[in-house]
A and B are shown apart, each in its own frame.
Chain A
């Protein structure tokens, strides 16, 4: 890109061809007031705050949408401009009901800050006092149209970053309003609750219920950390006031992992139940009672140290440090072979599938999440990332909207992608493998471009499939299969994402087939498996995944006398897990929350929540991320890793 030079306020400023005047100002440290501009979003020139004077231009122009060109002479701050900016502020304040004294955004509001800057101590215009509604139908978000300045940031975030496009302008002219879908209440709309809108809102028009009136940003301390809930590993900024978590924000929504989702933004603000804060052990009446760590450790040393068979199960919610200590405790100290992760079935299905595809490959062969954004075709099989890994869902929606990527959905269930899909195939439950085979065969029949190279090694896996018979068996129109095959065969950079809906069958063959299909539609097979827990990948990398599924088998036989469960901060109910432990005499549960498992445990140990502790976590695509404690807890509570190491040292004696 060629370099251009502008004169801004008499200073020589360099920019690139294609920059806006505002881009050049920002790059050269020249401040301009803005309201509708937001980093990472396209510019629309809605608010007119960034008006500048450019020599030889007939009118004042908004810097955000005006292309910079070589030799332009720009002035950003003249008496005329300042007069207009104040006028714009007065118009904005009188257009709707902006009453700072009782507005949720006061102190954080960009409109208010500009009014202070331009010393707007009164408005010369008549106030419109329009009758506007407040929409609080959404579980987390409130939309107050009284405070809206129609800058459109929320709409652009929702469309360009989140990809949901749940918001848009409704009505026209004086009656223009931000509305969800076809003017439905936000709570009943297709909003996916990512919270991008209220982070981008410059005023108090959209805000989070859980954070409202709990503290202004200036009163809060910001702690940089990483969300560990789903394994995408979004960078976050936790805002804390008086050691109370006020809100979780994205440090930079323009970055790929800077979006955040419903889970990341809200899960930690709505704690489901009371946390376990001290060790608990059974008293003489058999009830769990708070005790000291010393008492708990002694009981555990007695219960697990008797030489009987001990099984260990770890949740992928724990940190790498805790998982490493757990692995050492189980295998080295206790010498147990009965160790697994709670999602061990997924581990076996995925790793076995990869091994059948290529014996030398491992989890490291999986694609990085950012590759979804650049893929020209995306296949989603048995997954609803909008629910399980919402940011992955957003990537898919963005790719289809922005790059016009083709989307093939193979799922009997409707999800937010199905209406965006180029082809939606609905194989009956349990027949996804056949659908994959049929598409593979159709791709081979359609023929791959010569540039694809020799794909016979992969296509051989599909040769026995009869498309017509498969279509009949699947109750799918043969044309749909061919259409899917056509878009995939012609794509140069295809990626496949699969999740729960595939893994639930514990069938490594489907995974192998998916990998073969991925190899057909890209030079290197690009596949992403959506793992259940935030640190599933870390747990598997730590060697906690059990390749032979021995734990469940031994538990069934009733031979396991002791069990140690590292549940960490998973708030999910685990009745099935508790049921499988029925025959175990001595259960240790290390958890943040009480659950059916802690209810049958002999000893419960507290586990710090991810917002309270320091640790590393591995994302689903293998990137190592570190958390920092956002809120402080009593120093008496040990970290997961220290707790486990302490137990190990006692068992060694």
Chain B
């Protein structure tokens, strides 16, 4: 049987969800026999090709992240939002009650460790969106594994269900938002 192709992307977040993905113990060996990771921070493959499952870690807070999410949606049969940021906005959404200009000023100019700071403005630096969005407010999402980071148990459950051809909904006893 051909391996199931999976792509993962790391958008606005801390990479903790990818860590959690690698933290599924010996299941990673079984998983590697069944799936092939395509574009992913783990494989360092850059371009997109068509996959069965597209996993998104992180929320969407700038133009690039929006583009990546939209492109992954086009190339994936199923999109899985992984972690609190992707599902709800998470820690990154702290800035949503603040003004975008204030956020940039605080980050690039006001921080005590900054000397002669300035807000970057170049075509190479993606523009911040006014707000940070959970993935399902930008593209259609098919399943969610919340958690900060998600329990390895929940990730294992999600992937096992997907490989069995079912859309997973994390059971209450292993669902975590923290």
12 interchain pairs, CB-CB under 8 A: A99-B89, A100-B84, A100-B177, A101-B148, A101-B177, A116-B177, A119-B172, A119-B175, A122-B81, A127-B137, A131-B97, A132-B97
Cβ of B78 to closest chain A Cβ, rounded Å: 15
**B1 contacts A by Cβ under 8 Å:** no
Q: Is the C-beta of B131 less than 8 angstroms from some C-beta in chain A?
A: yes
Per-position 1/0 for B84-99, Cβ under 8 A of A: 1001111101101100
In the complex, which residues of chain B have a beta carbon less than 8 angstroms from the beta carbon of A106?
177-178
1/0 contact string of A110-122 vs chain B (CB within 8 Å): 0010011101011
The count of chain A contact residues (Cβ–Cβ below 8 Å) is: 25
Q: How far is the CA of A45 from the CA of B81 in the complex (A)?
A: 34
Docked pose: A123 CA to B144 CA in angstroms: 11
A636 proximity list for chain B (CB < 8 A): none
Tell me the bound Cα distance from A286 to B81 in angstroms.
Answer: 71
Q: Does residue B170 face the partner (Cβ distance < 8 Å to A)?
A: yes
Please report B residues at the A interface, Cβ cutoff 8 Å: 81, 84, 87-91, 93-94, 96-97, 131, 134, 136-137, 141, 143-146, 148, 169-172, 175-178
Which of A97, A107, A126 makes the CB contact (< 8 A) with B178?
A107
Q: Which residues of A contact B136 (CB under 8 A)?
A: 122, 124
Residue of A nearest to B145 (CB): A121
| Contacting residues, chain A, for B176 (C-beta < 8 A) | 116
**In the docked arrangement, what's the CA distance between A147 and B94, Å?**
13
Q: A101-B90, A127-B89 are in contact. Are A122 and B134 (CB under 8 A)?
A: yes
Among A507-537, those with CB < 8 Å from B are none
Main secondary structure of the interface of A (DSSP, over half): loop
For the complex, give the distance between the alpha carbons of A622 and B143 in Å.
62
Give bound CA distance, A132 to B91, whole Å. Answer: 16
A 586-604 binary contact with B (CB < 8 Å = 1; else 0) = 0000000000000000000
User: A424 in the interface, Cβ–Cβ < 8 Å?
Assistant: no
- The answer to whether B94 touches A99 (Cβ under 8 A) is yes
Complex CA gap A107/B84 in Å reads 15
Closest to B98 in A: A131
Question: Would you give the shortest CB distance from B118 to chain A, in whole angstroms?
Answer: 27
Chain B CB within 8 A of A129 CB: yes
- Provide the bound-state CA to CA distance between A126 and B138, in Å: 11
B131 proximity list for chain A (CB < 8 A)? 129
CA–CA, A412 and B141, complex, Å: 69
A283 to chain B, nearest CB (A): 49
Question: By the criterion CB–CB under 8 Å, are A119 and B134 in contact?
Answer: no
**With contacts A122-B144, A146-B97 known, what are 15 further pairs, Cβ within 8 A?**
A97-B97, A99-B93, A99-B94, A101-B90, A107-B178, A116-B177, A119-B172, A119-B175, A121-B87, A121-B169, A122-B81, A122-B87, A122-B146, A123-B88, A126-B137
> CB of A130 within 8 A of chain B?
yes
Q: Which of A112, A121, A130 contacts B170 (CB 8 A)?
A: A121
A129 CA / B93 CA spacing, docked (Å): 9
Asked whether, in the complex, the Cβ of B91 is within 8 Å of the Cβ of A121, the reply is no
The reply to whether B97 and A127 contact each other, CB–CB distance below 8 Å, is no
Complex CA distance for A116 and B173, rounded to whole angstroms: 8
Do the beta carbons of B97 and A130 come within 8 Å of each other?
A: yes
Q: How many angstroms from the CA of A132 to the CA of B96 in the assembled complex? A: 11
B residues less than 8 Å from A122 (CB atoms): 81, 87-88, 134, 136, 141, 144, 146
Return chain B residues, CB-CB under 8 Å to A132: 97
Q: How far is the CA of A490 from the CA of B88 in the complex (A)?
A: 62
Is there a chain B Cβ closer than 8 Å to A102's Cβ? Answer: yes
Please measure, in the bound complex, the distance between the C-alpha atom of A462 and the C-alpha atom of B91, giving whole angstroms.
72
Q: Residues of B contacting A101 with CB < 8 Å?
A: 84, 90-91, 148, 177-178
- Residue A266 lies at the interface, judged by CB distance under 8 Å to chain B: no
Task: Tell which of A93, A102, A119, A126 touches B88, judged by Cβ atoms closer than 8 Å.
Answer: A93
Contact: A127 with B178, CB < 8 Å? no
Cα of A100 to Cα of B172 in the assembled complex, Å: 16
Interface string of A628-645 (1 = CB under 8 A from B): 000000000000000000
Q: Which residues in window 121-154 of A have CB below 8 A to B?
A: 121-124, 126-127, 129-132, 146
Which chain A residues lie closer than 8 Å to B141 at the CB level? Answer: 122
Q: Collect the chain A residues with CB atoms within 8 Å of residue B94's CB.
A: 99, 102
Give me the 9 closest cross-chain CB pairs, A-B, nearest first: A100-B177, A121-B144, A101-B148, A129-B96, A106-B178, A122-B144, A116-B175, A116-B172, A131-B97
Residues of A near B175 (CB, < 8 A) are 116, 119, 121
Shortest A456–chain B CB gap in Å is 71
Are B93's CB and A100's CB within 8 A?
no
For A126, list chain B residues within 8 Å (CB).
137
For B171, the closest partner residue in chain A by CB is: A119
The answer for the CA separation of A17 and B93 in the assembled complex, in Å, is: 49
Q: Which residue, A99, A106, A112, A121, has most C-beta atoms of chain B within 10 A? A: A121
Q: Which of chain B's residues have a CB closer than 8 A to the CB of A102? A: 91, 94
Which residue in chain A gives the minimum CB-CB distance to B87? A122
B97/A112 in contact, CB under 8 A: no
- Of A116, A117, A122, A126, most buried by chain B (CB within 10 Å of CB) is A122
Chain A min CB distance to B12 (Å)? 14
Q: How far is the CA of A103 from the CA of B87 in the complex (A)?
A: 17
Q: In whole angstroms, how far apart are the Cα atoms of A126 and B88 in the complex?
A: 10
- Kindly state the separation between the CA atoms of A107 and B90 in the bound complex, as whole angstroms: 16
